[in-house]
Amino acid sequence: METARYNRQIILPEVGIDGQQKLQQAKVLIVGAGGLGVAVLPYLAAAGIGEIGIIDDDRIEVTNLQRQVIYKSSSVGKSKVLEAKAMALELNPSIKINAITEKLDSKNAILLFEQYDIIVDATDNLDTKYLINDACGVTNKPFVYGSVYKFEGQVSVFNYENGPTYRCLFPDESNEVKNCNDVGVMGISVGIIGMFQANEVLKMVLGIGDLLSGKLLVYNMLNNEQQKFEFSKTVTNTIDIVAFENKYSSVETATIEISAALALEQMHHPQVLFLDVRNADEYPKITIKNGLQIPLDRLEFELHQLDSNATLFVFCQSGIRSKKAVEILRNNNFMNAKSIAGGAKALDKIDAYKVFETL
Amino acid sequence: MIAVKYFGAIAEKTKSQGEEFSFSNMPLKDLLSVLKYKYELDLLSFSIAINQKIMQDTSSYILKSNDIVALLPPFAGG
């Protein structure tokens, strides 16, 4: 382990060679390579955290550059995590960085979290925060939380040594909260909160100072006021792998699927499009006026044929391929895409659509 | 005297960071009803802290003089 690089922190009594070894052995996953993530990453890399994972499927846009300060103007369009990895390795070539160009979801979270010691939430939406919370519960990992609203930020550490969790603090999941894209933010605000998060990670690894476990730090950039609120664990929040899978498979299916009958009710709406992702030679033929056929394996190449504002009801033969199609569509910003449960077989059973079509 | 502090989207709705009320001994849930109605907070979800401690069950607490109530919505930006 090269100690010359880390000399200035090794000479701190709170760190020392032992501390540097702890840093070198630590594995930290940063979920999100946006405003928070890019503030956390350089400081963890600089301090010598031995392995850092960063997961995000986003590409750099020019509107990111006022706050996501590690990216270059010349890199617009490139993958955030790949650029972030390159930056971190140029800063510190002696550490390992895993760039994961995926979106965190209930299918990859658990396997991913198992490979790290500490999970940093650098996300921009509540759904993913609850997912991170639950996956941390299942895999027994501490969760360093950060979030921003305009000029205010929140920081905490959840699930540390069986401590309170995100759900103990905010039990109500049915909330619509705006993120930076909707309400706006200054780079400094995400920067400061991201650094508070990096601070918690380093304290945790080194075993120094006091962690924000069971404490919510709320910081106001405009008046520099800082408040801490204590909260305790609510017993009903433990989750195991079975409960996790039940919860997330039904949530994702519920939002991703629609019944054939319900979809057909909207078939005359001008913004609705029925997308058949079967091959051209499959039966029964479903002819709906606002309909289009693009076989699943061609879908990614034919997205230009689709209006991203349209409501897309996607179907295949029985409803399996269409779920995959909806995933592809959602990954390409077609947010109003749903899979018709039961597919063409279910549609064909509903005589009403054939009657409507003849009107 | 009771102090109430607002954060995030709630501070936007109330157009202030906090205010004071000159009563005490009022049930917390009554104060919350009044604030929700006055500032149209119904669609916002938030946790409540009394004197810097999050209160899980707000239904039975009676406010005392010098209590500080904080309305804490989750933030999502990042």
Q: Answer yes or no: do A36 and B70 touch at CB < 8 A.
A: no
Measure the CA–CA gap between A132 and A103, rounded to whole angstroms.
Answer: 12
Interface contacts A/B by beta carbons within 8 Å: 96
- Say how many residues make up chain B: 78
Q: Answer yes or no: do B72 and A234 touch at CB < 8 A.
A: no
Q: Is A180 on the interface with B (CB under 8 A)?
A: yes
In which order are the strands placed within the sheet that holds A272-276? A257-258, A337-340, A311-315, A272-276, A291-293
In CATH, the number for domain A7-242 is 3.40.50.720
Measure the CA–CA gap between A18 and A184, rounded to whole angstroms.
Answer: 42
In the predicted model, is pLDDT for residue A171 greater than 60?
A: yes
CB A42 within 8 A of CB A101: no
B73 chain-A contacts, CB cut-off 8 A: 149, 175, 177
Binned at pLDDT 50, 70 and 90, residue A129 comes out as very high
Range list for CATH 3.40.250.10 in chain A? 259-358
- CB proximity list for A39: less than 8 A, separation 6 or greater: A69, A190, A191, A192, A193, A194, A195, A197, A198
CB-nearest to B9 from A147, A154, A177 is: A177
In the predicted model, is pLDDT for residue A3 greater than 50?
A: yes
Mean pLDDT value across residues B24-41: 92
Q: Is A132 on the interface with B (CB under 8 A)?
A: no
List C-alpha distances in Å: A342 to A70, A274, B61. 46, 14, 51
List C-alpha distances in Å: A259 to A253, A286, A344, A347, B39. 11, 16, 11, 9, 39
Lowest average pLDDT, out of A93-107, A142-156, A191-205, A345-359, goes to A345-359
Most B-contacting residue of A149, A219, A235 (CB-CB within 10 A), to test interface: A149
- Helix, strand or coil for residue B34? helix
Q: pLDDT tens digits for A289-319? A: 889 999 998 999 999 999 888 889 999 988 8
Question: Which value, to the nearest 10 degrees, does the dihedral of the CA atoms of residues A87, A92, A93, A94 take?
Answer: -150
Mean pLDDT value across residues B15-43: 92
SS3 content of chain A, % helix, strand, coil (to 5): 45, 20, 40
Q: pLDDT tens digits for A9-36? A: 999 999 999 999 999 999 999 999 999 9
Which class does domain B2-72 fall in? alpha beta
Mean pLDDT value across residues A262-283: 87
User: What pLDDT is recorded for position A193?
Assistant: 98
User: What pLDDT is recorded for position A269?
Assistant: 83
User: What pLDDT is recorded for position A307?
Assistant: 87
User: What pLDDT is recorded for position A359?
Assistant: 45
Q: Is A41 exposed, middle or buried (0-12, 13-18, 19+ CB in 10 A)?
A: buried
B74 chain-A contacts, CB cut-off 8 A: 126, 129, 147, 154, 169-170, 175, 177
Q: Is residue A126 within a helix (H) or strand (E), and if so which, with residue range?
A: helix A126-139
Measure the CA–CA gap between A226 and A246, rounded to whole angstroms.
Answer: 39
Please name the residues between 143 and 162 in chain A that touch chain B, using a CB distance below 8 Å: 146-150, 152-154
Q: pLDDT tens digits for A224-264? A: 999 999 999 986 667 888 888 888 876 665 578 888 888 88
Mean pLDDT value across residues A123-128: 93
List C-alpha distances in Å: A221 to A65, A151, A189. 20, 5, 7
| Residue bearing the bigger pLDDT, A125 or A351 | A125
Q: Is residue A98 within a helix (H) or strand (E), and if so which, with residue range?
A: strand A96-100
Classify domain A259-358 by CATH architecture.
3-Layer(aba) Sandwich (3.40)
B8 chain-A contacts, CB cut-off 8 A: 149-150, 152
Most B-contacting residue of A170, A179, A192, A212 (CB-CB within 10 A), to test interface: A170
Instruction: Sort strands A272-276 and A257-258 into parallel, antiparallel or unpaired.
Output: unpaired
Neighbours of A94 (CB within 10 A): 13
Q: pLDDT tens digits for A88-124? A: 999 999 999 999 999 999 999 999 999 999 999 999 9
Mean pLDDT value across residues B30-52: 93
Q: Answer yes or no: do B45 and A175 touch at CB < 8 A.
A: yes
User: What pLDDT is recorded for position A1?
Assistant: 66
User: What pLDDT is recorded for position A144?
Assistant: 98
Quick check: bond before B27 cis, omega within 30? Answer: no
B78 chain-A contacts, CB cut-off 8 A: 32, 34-37, 121-124, 146-148, 179-180, 190
Closest CA to A69 of A54, A56, A82, A87: A87
In the predicted model, is pLDDT for residue B16 greater than 90?
A: yes
Q: Where are the domains of chain B?
A: 2-72
Instruction: Sort strands A118-121 and A96-100 into parallel, antiparallel or unpaired.
Output: unpaired
pLDDT cut 70: percent of chain A above it: 94
Per DSSP, A79 falls in state B
- CB proximity list for A87: less than 8 A, separation 6 or greater: A41, A42, A70
Q: Is A170 on the interface with B (CB under 8 A)?
A: yes
Per DSSP, B5 falls in state E
User: What pLDDT is recorded for position A352?
Assistant: 59
Q: Answer yes or no: do B45 and A174 touch at CB < 8 A.
A: yes
**In this structure, what token pair is assigned to residue B48?**
């409540």
CB-nearest to A149 from B53, B54, B77 is: B77
In the predicted model, is pLDDT for residue A2 greater than 80?
A: no
In the predicted model, is pLDDT for residue B20 greater than 90?
A: yes
**In this structure, what token pair is assigned to residue B19?**
């205010």
Mean pLDDT value across residues A330-353: 84
User: What pLDDT is recorded for position A84?
Assistant: 98
Q: What's the whole-number average pLDDT of chain A?
A: 91
Shortest CA gap B17–chain A (Å)? 11
List C-alpha distances in Å: A220 to A148, A260, B7, B75. 10, 49, 9, 13
User: What pLDDT is recorded for position A342?
Assistant: 85
Q: Is A66 on the interface with B (CB under 8 A)?
A: no
User: What pLDDT is recorded for position B64?
Assistant: 94
CB A136 within 8 A of CB A29: no
Mean pLDDT value across residues B6-34: 93
The ipTM, to two decimals, is 0.96
Shortest CA gap A11–chain B (Å)? 34
Q: Answer yes or no: do A175 and B75 touch at CB < 8 A.
A: no
User: What pLDDT is recorded for position A53?
Assistant: 98
Mean pLDDT value across residues A76-93: 98
Q: Which residues of B touch A (CB under 8 A)?
A: 5, 7-9, 11, 43-45, 47, 49, 52-54, 56, 70, 72-78
Per DSSP, A176 falls in state -
Q: Answer yes or no: do A148 and B78 touch at CB < 8 A.
A: yes
